[in-house]
């Protein structure tokens, strides 16, 4: 069994490394991109389905495994536990996977990564779990709503308690059913080189479905690409970027104008940076700052691919602005602050297991500091847009309320997008609009300060 050509073993290798490294899943997938791309289309799809599905349904799978294991879940070595999860996931959630194939492959993998004894253990547990998992009852929602949500919809108990209290049981279940569904891939046409209709025609034969986004004017949602999108000619020619519809809308809320001086204060990999560059038609200046040099390297490569030439990158900690940068102010600033990422769990299923309750308050404190720090760089009469991929109040309204109470030189402003309210607040949830969960607020600096 060779991880280079066996999709299941490659999936297990990625899951184990992701668990051990503590890095986000996308970083681990990046490390194994060559191996994944070398697989046949069907095998690559299988590997990705197992990786994302096993992480997405981890808590639920553990609940189903526990009654058939003599060892507690916490007592099982991580590699063997992921082998069990993968085997059961294929049986419970994937069509056309015979039980015998899922079990036998899991046993062989267990022997490969551990020993013969591990293979016997995996065989014993999966033989029972794959055929009798329907007998395992979920917790009674009448007795403990949060426990029922945690085990049936596969999220940590602390988050289940938080969301059932906040949303109520039915809305919480609807939200999680959306989060646990497989989202479409959303891309944005690069209008410097093409338009949405032309791009859709170019990609039509390479994907199963392709539809225009409802609220973002340049977006397309695609499903089941026959080839990874970044290997298509359209991508190589810089005709699009991958970007969720909600984040496309946030860029339009910044509303950058050709000729203006713009700051993307926490630029990351450059999705919003590229969008602003095309809106500005390469006229004016965009400063893209981030603390992570690796991300900025990717960003520079992206701008070159897209044909965007008005972006300058700088390695910068938004908590510690270099005094030299406090000279010429910016017309508009986007602060896409570091956050829990609890609004994008459908695309990043691993994040639900790496976040804790304490992360919300810890990151909210950082968000307040960054926003206040960056605000000094916007000119009088200028605009600042605060955004996070989280729907938690501590990272949303409470950050803005704190900022406006602290900074009397700023006030909220409305904008023209129909999904934003009169106070400049924009908010999305996966279960209501089919987008990732995002929050943003638009504020203006007083001319009199």
What positions carry a catalytic annotation?
389
CB atoms within 10 A of CB 94: 13
Instruction: Tell me the two tokens of residue 12.
Output: 């297990």
In three-state form (DSSP H/G/I as H, E/B as E, the rest C), the secondary structure along the chain is CCCCCCHHHHHHHHHHHHHHHCCCHHHHHHHCHHHHHHCCHHHHHHHHHHHHHHHHCHHHHHHHHHHHCCCCHHHCCHHHHHHHHHHHHHHHHCCCCCHHHHHHHHHHHHHHHCCHHHHHHHHHHHHHHHHHHHHCCCCCCCCCHHHHHHHHHCCCHHHHHHHHHHHCHHHHHHHHHHHCCCCCEEEEECCCCCCHHHHHHHHHHHCCEEEECCCCCCEEEEECCCCCHHHCHHHHCCCEEECCHHHHHHHHHHCCCCCCEEEECCCCCCHHHHHHHHHCCCCCEEEEEECCHHHHHHHHHHHHHHCCCCEEEEECCCCCCCHHHCCCCEEEEEEECCCCCCCCCCCCCCHHHHCCHHHHHHHHHHHHHHHHHHHCCEEEEEEEEEEECCCCHHHCHHHHHHHHHHCCCEEECCCCCCCECCCCEEEECHHHHCCCCEEEEEEEECCCC
Cβ 230 vs Cβ 238: under 8 Å: no
* Max CA distance (Å), the chain: 76
58-65 vs 116-132: helix axis angle to the nearest 10? 90
Instruction: Tell me the two tokens of residue 46.
Output: 């299988």
Instruction: Tell me the two tokens of residue 59.
Output: 């808590």
Q: How far is CA 384 from CA 73, 331, 417, 446, in A?
A: 47, 9, 16, 12
């Amino acid at each position: 069994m060779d991880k280079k050509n066996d999709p299941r073993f490659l999936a297990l290798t990625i899951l184990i490394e992701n668990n051990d490294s503590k890095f986000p899943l996308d970083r681990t997938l990046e490390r194994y991109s060559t191996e994944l791309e070398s697989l046949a289309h069907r095998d690559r799809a299988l590997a990705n389905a197992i990786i994302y599905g096993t992480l997405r349904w981890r808590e639920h799978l553990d609940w189903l495994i526990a009654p058939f294991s003599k060892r507690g879940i916490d007592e099982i070595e991580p590699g063997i536990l992921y082998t069990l999860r993968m085997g059961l996931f294929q049986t419970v959630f994937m069509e056309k996977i015979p039980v015998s194939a899922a079990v036998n492959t899991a046993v062989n993998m267990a022997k490969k990564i551990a020993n013969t004894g591990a293979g016997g253990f995996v065989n014993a547990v999966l033989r029972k779990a794959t055929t009798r998992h329907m007998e395992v009852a979920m917790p009674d929602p009448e007795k403990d709503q949060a426990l029922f949500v945690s085990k049936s919809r596969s999220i940590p108990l602390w988050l289940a308690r938080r969301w059932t209290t906040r949303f109520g049981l039915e809305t919480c279940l609807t939200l999680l059913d959306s989060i646990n569904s497989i989202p479409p891939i959303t891309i944005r046409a690069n209008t410097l080189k093409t338009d949405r209709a032309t791009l859709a025609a170019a990609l039509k034969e390479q994907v199963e479905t392709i539809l225009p986004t409802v609220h973002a004017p340049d977006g397309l949602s695609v499903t089941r690409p026959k080839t990874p999108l970044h290997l298509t000619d359209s991508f190589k020619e810089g005709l699009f970027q991958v970007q969720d519809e909600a984040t496309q809308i946030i860029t339009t809320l910044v509303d950058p104008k050709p000729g203006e001086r713009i700051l993307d204060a926490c630029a990351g990999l450059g999705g919003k940076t590229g969008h602003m560059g095309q809106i500005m038609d390469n006229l004016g200046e965009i400063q893209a700052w981030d603390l992570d040099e690796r991300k900025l390297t990717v960003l520079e490569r992206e701008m070159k691919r897209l044909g965007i030439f008005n972006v300058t990158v700088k390695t910068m900690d938004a908590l510690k602005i270099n005094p030299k940068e406090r000279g010429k102010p910016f017309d508009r600033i986007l602060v896409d602050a570091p956050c829990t990422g609890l609004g994008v769990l459908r695309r990043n299923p691993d994040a639900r297991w790496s976040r804790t309750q304490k992360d919300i308050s810890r990151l909210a404190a950082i968000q307040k500091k960054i926003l206040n720090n960056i605000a000094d760089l916007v000119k009088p009469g200028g605009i600042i847009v605060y955004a996070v991929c989280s729907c938690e109040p501590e990272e949303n309204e409470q950050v803005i309320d704190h900022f406006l109470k602290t900074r009397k030189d700023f006030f909220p402003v409305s904008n023209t997008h129909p999904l934003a309210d009169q106070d400049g607040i924009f908010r999305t949830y996966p279960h209501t609009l089919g987008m990732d969960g995002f929050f943003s607020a638009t504020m203006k600096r007083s001319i009199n300060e």
